[in-house]
A and B are shown apart, each in its own frame.
Chain A
Amino acid sequence: MLILRPSRIADLPEVVRIAEASAIGITSLPPDRDKLYDKIRQSVESFEPDRDVSGEETYFFVLEDAATGRLMGTSGITAEAGFHDRFYSYRNETIVHASQELAVSNRIHALHLCHDLTGYALLTSFWIDPSLYDTEWPQLLSRGRLLFLREYSQRFGDKIAAENPGVCDEQGRSPFWDAVGRRFFNMDYPQAERLSGGRSKTFIAELMPHYPIYVPLLPAEAKLAIGQLHPVAELPFSILLAEGFDADTYIDIFDGGPTVEARISMLRSIAKQRRLQVTVAPDDVAAGRPHLISNVSADGFRATIATLKVERDSPVLLPPAIATTLGVESGDAVRVVPL
C-alpha cells in the first residue's frame, strides 16, 4: 500500500534522488540539495495546523511505500502562484483582422504576456516512479492533493492552475524558447530555467517581451510547440484534464507548455468528494468500490486508496489496516471520493 503524506526533513536523501531522476521542465523539483532542503522545510512550516496563513505556503507531498518506506513520487501545492510577486504566463488570444471593403478576414493568433494566474493555487512537483505508471497510484499522488485542498479551502483562493512541461529535445533545447525567450535572454533554455527554478521570477518581467507576440511570425517549429505537452508529462496531464482543467488558454513563457487552470469548485474530485465520519470495522470489509480517502489533519495528513462502501450521510466503514494507515479512529472525519 502507498500513502500520500507531507514530506519531512528526513525525506531529503530520497527527494534528492527523485529530483535527479525527474525530467527537465519540472522547475519545482530542482536537483539541488539546498533548494530541496528549503522546499521541505517551508512545506513542514506550511502544514502546521495553527499556521496563520499568508498565501506564502507551499505544500510538498510524498508518496511512500508503507511496506518499505521508499518514496515512489512527489507532488505539491503552492498556495498562491506568484506570491509577493507576479506569476507570468502567455495567454492565447485571437485578434480578428477583417475588412469588408477588401473581403479579407483573418484570425491572428497572438500571445499576450499576462499575470492572470497570479494568486491561483498551483499544483506542482509531480513525479512518480515509472514502475507505477500503469497503476492507480498516480491518481492518489495527483488527486489526493485535492482532498487536502478541500479540507483546508480557507487557505486557498477559488482558482487553481498547473504548469506542464513543453516540448524540448534531449539536450533540453526548446523550440519555443529559441524563437522567443532567447532573443531577450541571450542564454539557453536550461540555464534560464535553472535561474528561475528555486527563486522568484521577478527578473522575467524585465526580460520577456511585453507586447503581444504574433504567432504567424514565429518559425514553424516554435508554432508547433505552443501549448504542446512534453511526452514525459502525459500521465499527470491526463489526470488534470479528467479533473476538468482547461488547457486552451495559457502557456508557459519559457517552453510554451500548456498551463491548465480551473475553478476549484468545478473540479471533479472536489465536486464528488464527501466528508464523512468513520466507523472502524472489526475486520476487512468485503464489498465496495475503490476510493481515494484522506484524514482531515494538516501536518498529519494521510491519504491512500481503499475499497469502500460509501453511502450518503452514513459513517464509512473502514478496514482496520486503512484506519491505522490514516491514523483515524471511529468517530473521526475523513474525505472520500470515488477513484
Chain B
Amino acid sequence: MTTTMLLRPIALSDLPALIELVGRAGVGLTTLPPNQIELRKRIEASEATFAGTTDPRDGLYLFVLLEVSAAAPAGKLAGICGVAPAVGLRQPWYSYRVGQVVHASQELNIFTQTPTLFLSNDHTGHSELCSLFLDPAYRKDKNGVLLSKSRLLFLAQHRGHFADRVIAELRGVTDANGKSPFWESLGRHFFSMEFAHADYLTGIGKKSFVAELMPKHPLYTSFLTPEAQAVIGVTHELTRPAQAMLASEGFRFAGHVDIFDAGPVVEAVVDDIGAVKASRLVPARIVDLPNADGVAHLVSNTHYGDFRASLVTLPTGTQACPLTAEVAALLKVKDGEDVRVAPLSTRDR
C-alpha cells in the first residue's frame, strides 16, 4: 500500500489525536483552543453540521488531513482545517475597518491624513475559512496547500451551503512570549487580561463578550504606540505562507483587521476563487497503475457527509480522472462516477 494524504470530515474518534496536535499550536490558533471540552464541542458541531441537524447559523465544517499508509490504514492525523458557513449570525462578528480621516485647512495650509480604526460588523453572514493547522512534521510535499485548498473544492461542490463571500482571519504579530503589540497598546486598556486569555475566550465562543468591552468609537491610530501601529494588517511570520497561498487563490486584504491582534482579514467572492473557478467535474476511471504524467491536482468526490479529497497527478485539461482502485476506495468513488478536479498550483490552471 502506498502512502496517501487524504482529507475527510472530522469524527469524534479524532479527538485524542487532535488534542495532541493542538497542544503544539500555541497562542494564536484562536479557533482551536487547547481545551478538551471545547475541542469536543467543535467536533460535535461539525458532525451535526454534516448531518444537517444543526441550525446553519451554528454551522461548522471541520476536516482532517490524514496520512494513510500500510502502517496506519485508518490514517494518522497530520492537520485540520475548517469552513464556517456563515459568521456573526448568532453572536456579533467584529473587526476593525482601517480607514482614514483628512483634516485640512487651506487657510492655514494644513493637510493631515490620520489613519483610523472603525469597529465594524461588515463580515456578518460571510463564510469563513478557519481552524487551519498542520503538524510541523508534515509541512512538506504540498501538504499545506492540499489541506488549505481542498476546502475550496468542498465550497465549489456544495456552493449552496455557503455565502457569496468568504473571509479568512490571519494571525497577527505576537512576540516570542505571545504578547501582541496591538493588544498591549489598545485592548489591554479596556480589559484587565492578557492577550492569550482574550484569545482563548474568543476561541471558546466568547469573542462577542470580549468585543463588547472594546472601544466602540472610531480610534485614531496615531494614539496607539508606534509598535502597535506597525503591526496593523501585518501577518504573523509563521502565517505568511498561508497568506501567500490564499492570495494566490484570489483572497485580498480589503482593510479589515482583527480587533485583538490587528492581523489582516482577507476576503474573496466565492465564485472568483481560483480553485473554485478552475475546478471541473470529470468521470473517475479505475486504472491499474497510477498516472505519472501531468501535474498535481486536487481531486475530491462530490459527496457531502462522505466528502474526501486528495492529490492526484493528472494531465492539465484532462477529460477523465484515472485513479488506482486503492485511491478510488479512499476517495469513495466508483468507476465512472464524477469527481471534482482542479490543478493544485495556479500556474497549471
Contacts and interface: CB of A to CB of B under 8 A. Distances in A.
Interface centre among A108, A203, A214 (most CB of B within 10 A): A214
Nearest to B228: A217
Given A186-B110, A186-B112, A206-B105, A102 B223 contact: no
A208 to B, nearest CB: 8
Given A106-B191, A217-B185, A217-B189, A99 B213 contact: yes
Contact of B220 (A110, A209, A216): A209
B223 A218 contact: yes
A213 B190 contact: no
A208 B222 CA distance: 13
B201 A102 contact: yes
B107 A203 contact: yes
Interface stretch (B64-72, B204-212, B292-300): B204-212
Contacts of B220: 183, 209, 211, 213
Interface in A7-45: none
B213 A207 contact: no
Interface in B90-115: 101, 103-105, 107-108, 110, 112, 114
A37 to B, nearest CB: 23
A97 interface: yes
Contacts, number: 83
Nearest to A187: B110
A192 to B, nearest CB: 9
B104 A108 contact: no
Contacts of B219: 211, 214, 217
A67 interface: no
Nearest to A97: B213
Contacts of B185: 217
- From DSSP, what is the main secondary structure of chain B's interface residues? mixed
Contacts of B108: 195, 203, 207
Contacts of A184: 103, 112, 114
Contacts of B206: 101-102
Given A97-B190, A185-B110, A212-B217, A217 B224 contact: yes
Contacts of A187: 110
A207 B102 CA distance: 8
Interface residues of A, number: 30
Nearest to A180: B223
Contacts of B104: 206-207
B107 to A, nearest CB: 6
B210 A102 contact: yes
A217 B222 CA distance: 10
B186 interface: yes
Interface residues of B, number: 33
Contacts of B112: 183-186, 207
A106 B110 contact: no
B188 to A, nearest CB: 9
A104 interface: yes
A106 B210 CA distance: 12
Contacts of B110: 185-187, 207
Contact of B222 (A97, A108, A183, A214): A183
A195 B36 CA distance: 64
Interface string A303-318: 0000000000000000
Interface in B208-261: 209-210, 212-220, 222-224
Interface string A91-135: 000010111011010101010000000000000000000000000
Given A102-B210, A184-B112, A217-B223, A207 B105 contact: yes
B213 A217 contact: no
Contact of A108 (B103, B107, B215, B218): B215
A213 B215 CA distance: 10
Given A108-B215, A214-B223, A99 B209 contact: yes
Contacts of B190: 97, 106, 108, 216
B192 A104 contact: yes
Nearest to A184: B103
Contacts of B201: 102
Interface string B109-152: 01010101000000000000000000000000000000000000
24 contacts: A99-B209, A99-B212, A99-B213, A101-B206, A102-B201, A102-B210, A102-B213, A183-B112, A184-B114, A185-B112, A186-B110, A186-B112, A187-B110, A206-B105, A207-B104, A207-B112, A209-B220, A211-B116, A213-B220, A214-B189, A214-B215, A214-B217, A216-B190, A217-B185
The 8 closest A-B pairs by CB, nearest first: A216-B189, A217-B223, A97-B213, A211-B218, A207-B103, A212-B217, A101-B209, A184-B103
